[in-house]
Each structure stands twice: as C-alpha cells, then as structure tokens.
C-alpha cells in the first residue's frame, strides 16, 4: 500500500539567492491511497507535479510537509527500507546497450542485493524468476542494443522486479510501443497487479481506461479529481474520459 498524506513539496530557488523567496510550490497538500491488487492511475499535464510525487514514493526526496508511507513505513524516516519495497519503471529505461539482457539482469541483481548478504545463487534465482515473469527467455543472450523497444521495456520491468517488491511505480511504461506491444504490456501489468500495489503515470487515456481501477488527477500541483474513470466522467458531465480530463486540467 502507498499512502500520500497532505504531501507538499517546495523547491527552493538557488539561482535567485533571495532570502525572502519562498521557492516554487510543486505539489500542494495532495492526499491519496494506492492499494494492493489494484492499478492506480496518477494523471496530469506536464508540470502538474506527478514526477515530484513519484520520486517521493520511490524515496528519492522527502516532503516539505505532510507524509508519504509505503507499506506503513514513512519515506523520510525509513528511506532505505522504502527503496527496498519499491520497483521503478521509467519511460526511458536506463539500460546498457553493449550488455546482453542476461548480463544486465545479473549486474542489476548484484547491485540490488549488494547491501544484503547474497550469493551468486541468490542473484541467479532472482534473474530466473523475472525472466519467466517478463517473458524474456527468447532474448536472454541477445545484446540490448539489438532489442526492440518492447523487449527493452520488458527488461526494464524485469530489473524493477528483481527484489520482488510489493509496490511498482510505472512512469509512462507503454510510451513509444506499437499496438501489439501495448497489448502485451497491458496483460503483463494486469498480471503483476493481482498481488502488488501498482501506481501508473501515463498521458494515454486509453491506458487509464484499460488498466486503472482508481484514478487521481493532478493539476497545478493539486488533486482535482479521484475515482474510477467512469465516476470522473459522470461527475464532470463530460462525454468521455479524455474530455473529463481536459475539463479538469485546462
């Protein structure tokens, strides 16, 4: 479970060097919960504050006020523990093109388990599990530079799952994929979301409608709507979810 409780983030401006400046308010008192077994959507236009919230959930920075908790652990009080409970998939995976898929997963596994006592067998078992989960057997020995966008994204999912985290944060996971790859990715997200808490950020309205049971819409750093896609359409009097989104954010 992820709990965002009156989360506020203010970035100070070092460039201004003005002691009276209050800084830039990126997120203003946002609260929502993402529960296990559900795919929760976090939507908003560029600059709305989505990335700021996602970074806090991943333990990469802390609230200026309010709190973020992952599996009951406060991010600011237990950052190392929280990072060990979250897997992150980005729009542009940070992969090493010269590595094979298998070499990359073994390398990522050794990094992931470096703070714990581990053996090559531990890493090997984790790699075998994620290769099966993400259907990577066919490309295990292929160079990452030769992989399609779809397989590279599967590899990004695999590295995020090595430590078997209860929470997955997905930032535009289907961006740039063709229709067949998008369908495959949807199926994988649905499967992974049966037992995990999944938080999905995307600009694609059809992905929200296909995957998300609960949606939270952010605009100007504030939460402007929450509910199922249909509930949000009904509450705004819009014709469809895309129109509802535009009504709330434009």
Q: Convert the pLDDT of each residue in 107-121 to its tens digit.
A: 999 988 876 666 778
Residue 74: C-alpha distances to residues 4, 105, 187, 228 (Å): 10, 29, 32, 27
Tokens 């070092």 -> residue: 14
% of the chain with per-residue pLDDT over 90:
75
Instruction: Supply 132's token pair.
Output: 């099966």
On whether the CB atoms of residues 147 and 156 are closer than 8 A, the answer is no
Residue 22 pLDDT greater than 80, yes or no: no
Which residue's structure tokens are 């908003």? Answer: 44
* Position 19 pLDDT exceeds 90: no
> Residue 78 contacts by C-beta under 8 Å, 6 or more apart in sequence?
none
For position 113, what pLDDT does the model report?
83
For residue 39, what are its two tokens? 């795919």
Cα 150 to chain centroid, rounded: 17
Does 83 score more than 50 pLDDT?
yes
Please write the tens of the pLDDT for every residue from 133-166: 999 999 999 999 999 999 999 999 999 999 999 9
pLDDT at 208: 92
* Spatial contact of 48 and 54, defined as CB atoms under 8 Å apart: no
* Closest listed residue to residue 102, CA positions, set 65, 147, 64: 147
Antiparallel, parallel or unpaired: β 197-201 and 167-171: parallel
**For residues 222-250, average pLDDT:** 96
- 52-63 residue pLDDT tens: 999 999 999 999
The partner residues of 39 in beta bridges, in order of sequence, read: 198
What pLDDT does 117 receive? 64
pLDDT tier, 18 (very low <50, low <70, confident <90, very high otherwise): low
């Amino acid at each position: 479970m992820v709990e965002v409780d009156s989360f506020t983030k203010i970035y100070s401006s070092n460039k201004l060097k003005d002691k009276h400046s209050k800084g830039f308010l990126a997120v203003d008192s946002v609260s929502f919960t993402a529960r296990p077994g559900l795919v929760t959507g976090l939507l908003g236009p560029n600059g709305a504050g989505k990335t700021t919230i996602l970074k806090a959930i991943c333990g990469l920075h802390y609230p200026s006020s309010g709190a973020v908790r992952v599996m009951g652990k406060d991010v600011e009080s237990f950052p190392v523990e929280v990072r060990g409970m979250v897997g992150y998939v980005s729009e542009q995976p940070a992969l090493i093109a010269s590595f094979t898929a298998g070499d990359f997963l073994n390398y990522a596994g050794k990094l992931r388990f470096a703070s714990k006592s581990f053996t090559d067998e531990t890493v090997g078992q984790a790699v075998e599990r994620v290769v099966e989960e993400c259907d990577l057997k066919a490309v295990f020995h292929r160079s990452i530079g030769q992989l399609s966008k779809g397989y590279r994204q599967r590899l990004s999912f695999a590295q995020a799952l090595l430590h078997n985290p209860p929470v997955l944060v997905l930032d535009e996971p289907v961006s740039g994929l063709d229709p067949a790859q998008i369908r495959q990715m949807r199926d994988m997200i649905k499967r992974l979301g049966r037992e995990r808490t999944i938080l999905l950020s995307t600009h694609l309205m059809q992905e929200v409608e296909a995957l998300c049971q609960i949606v939270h819409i952010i605009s100007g750093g504030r939460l402007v709507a929450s509910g199922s896609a249909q509930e949000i359409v009904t509450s705004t009097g819009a014709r469809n979810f895309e129109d509802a989104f535009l009504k709330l954010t434009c």
